[in-house]
């Protein structure tokens, strides 16, 4: 079974079965915890035309974002900032379950689409900024690659002396080519590989920094949001590397430089961090220890789980629930499967306090 079939089965068969049998109520007392930290990337209206699923999964529509807010209001959650989570974990709970909204990377639609919604509902939210985004130095290869895959009949990729050809003829080919090239690109991390990627796109007459000009927040927008009481800005490194592939010195540099730059532009202290990619394949014990020694109040991963009192001792690696409108077939009730802990319980093999 390929990935696409697995995802379709989840959305069309497994999620409805789990939801209609109300099996998520069984896990609620044990796996819903104190609350959830949600993870988003982009908030933007549905784009017309063909898309690559891997990227469109990073996006929710403004309507869906609003639907999640109403869901948590209906379920009597407290909407909290990351500072408040720090307090809750240090022994000041409010009695209600909490939810925190977080956005990774620093896309411009966080300012144009999400910020007005959060202001309307008076709800705090956080953005973890990769500083290469507003510096216009990021090579957003995942969006450049999407355009290329949708435009070409086939693509040649040469790395370490090996040339491979990928077909983009059918929809299935395009999904597969995107998936395979994404794996290749992610494997080839570091500045040398970055230069290689830049040359790859330039050889197709594509400006490698085009998407960061189109899609990233600029510093003026970041500075404006930082002055708003609902907004927390966190660091997300300079260049969004897989930190476990770097030396200790480079990890510290990626973290501290991004923090200092955001502080300089906003005049505010940056006390929260999120790990690029954030899975076990990119961030683990060494990275958690370094981030802790840098003195952040909290740091978040992308391990899928809710937050428990035991996270008091693991504030440098708090798990999050990814919100993916497409995965959930736009059905807001499937959030029950995450917030009540059924899916986290299965995915984490019955571990409650998910850390490393």
Q: Would you tell me which residues interact with Zn ion (CB under 5 A)?
A: 104-105, 276
Instruction: Sort strands 154-159 and 162-167 into parallel, antiparallel or unpaired.
Output: antiparallel
Q: How far is the CB of 185 from Zn ion (least distance, A)?
A: 14
Nearer to Zn ion, 262 or 337 (CB): 262
Query: Measured between alpha carbons, how far is 231 from 237 in angstroms, rounded to an integer?
Result: 19
Nearer to Zn ion, 104 or 325 (CB): 104
* Closest residue to Zn ion in the complex (CB): 104
Please identify, using beta-carbon distances, which residue of 282 and 325 lies nearer to Zn ion. 282
How far apart CA 179 and CA 42 sit, in angstroms, is 20
* Comparison of 144 and 345: residue with beta carbon closer to Zn ion: 144
- Non-local CB neighbours of 296 within 8 Å, separated by 6+ positions: 235, 271, 272, 273, 316
Give the three-class secondary structure for 42: strand
Burial tier of 87 (Cβ tally within 10 Å: 0-12, 13-18, 19+): middle
Q: Shortest gap between Cβ of 165 and Zn ion (angstroms)?
A: 30
> Shortest approach of Zn ion to residue 205 CB, angstroms?
28
Closest CB 105 distance from Zn ion, rounded Å: 4
To Zn ion, the closest distance from the beta carbon of 65 in angstroms equals 18
CA distance 296 to 325: 31
Q: Which is nearer to Zn ion, 134 or 276 (CB)?
A: 276
Nearest to Zn ion of 59, 104 (CB atom): 104
With beta carbons less than 8 A apart as the criterion, state whether 236 and 276 touch: yes
Q: What is 138-172 written as a DSSP string? A: ---HHHHHHHHHHH-SEEEEEETTEEEEEE-SSHH
Q: Which of 314, 311, 302 is nearest to 344 (CA)?
A: 302
The enclosing H or E element of 270 equals: none
Separation between Cα atoms, residue 211 and residue 302, nearest integer Å: 24
Residue 105 or 316 with smaller CB distance to Zn ion: 105
Longest CA–CA span in the chain (Å) reads 59
Q: What is the DSSP string of 285-351?
A: HHHHHHHHHTT-SEEE------B-GGGGGGTTSB--EEP-TTTTTT-GGGHHHHHTSHHHHHHTTT-
For residue 230, the cross-strand partners are none
Nearest distance, CB of residue 203 and Zn ion, angstroms: 26
User: At its nearest, how many Å lie between Zn ion and the CB of residue 107?
Assistant: 10
Q: Which is nearer to Zn ion, 208 or 276 (CB)?
A: 276
Min dist. Cβ of residue 279 to Zn ion (A) = 11
- CB nearer Zn ion, residue 209 or residue 240: 240
In the complex, least distance from residue 328 CB atom to Zn ion, rounded to whole angstroms = 21
List, in order, residues 6 or more apart from 150 with CB less than 8 Å away. Answer: 50, 52, 168, 174
């Amino acid at each position: 079974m390929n990935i696409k079939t697995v995802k379709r089965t989840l959305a069309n068969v497994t999620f409805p079965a789990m939801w209609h049998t109300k099996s998520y109520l069984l896990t609620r007392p044990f796996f819903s915890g104190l609350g959830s930290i949600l993870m988003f990337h982009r908030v933007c209206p549905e784009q017309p035309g063909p898309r690559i699923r891997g990227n469109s999964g990073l996006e929710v529509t403004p309507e869906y974002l609003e639907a999640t807010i109403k869901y948590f209001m209906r379920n009597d959650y407290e909407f909290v900032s990351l500072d408040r989570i720090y307090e809750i974990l240090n022994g000041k709970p409010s009695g209600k379950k909490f939810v925190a909204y977080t956005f990774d990377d620093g896309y411009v639609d966080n300012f144009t689409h999400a910020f007005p919604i959060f202001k309307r509902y008076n709800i705090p939210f956080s953005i973890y900024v990769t500083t290469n985004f507003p510096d216009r130095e990021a090579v957003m290869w995942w969006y450049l690659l999407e355009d290329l895959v949708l435009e070409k009949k086939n693509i040649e990729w040469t790395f370490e002396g090996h040339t491979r050809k990928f077909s983009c003829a059918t929809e299935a080919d395009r999904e597969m080519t995107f998936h395979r090239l994404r794996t290749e690109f992610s494997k080839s991390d570091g500045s040398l590989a970055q230069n290689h990627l830049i040359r790859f796109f330039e050889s197709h007459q594509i400006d490698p920094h085009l998407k960061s000009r189109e899609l990233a927040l600029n510093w003026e927008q970041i500075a404006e949001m930082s002055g708003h009481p609902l907004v927390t800005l966190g660091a997300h490194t300079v260049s969004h590397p897989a930190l476990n592939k770097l030396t200790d010195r480079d990890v510290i540099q990626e973290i501290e430089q991004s923090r200092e730059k955001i502080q300089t532009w906003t005049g505010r202290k940056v006390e929260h961090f999120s790990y690029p990619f954030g899975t076990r394949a990119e961030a683990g014990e060494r990275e958690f220890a370094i981030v802790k020694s840098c003195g952040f109040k909290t740091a978040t991963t992308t391990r899928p789980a809710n937050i428990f009192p035991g996270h008091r001792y693991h504030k440098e690696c708090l798990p999050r629930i990814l919100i993916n409108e497409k995965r959930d077939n736009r059905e807001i009730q499937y959030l029950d499967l995450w917030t009540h802990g059924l899916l986290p319980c299965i995915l984490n093999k019955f571990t409650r306090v998910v850390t490393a």
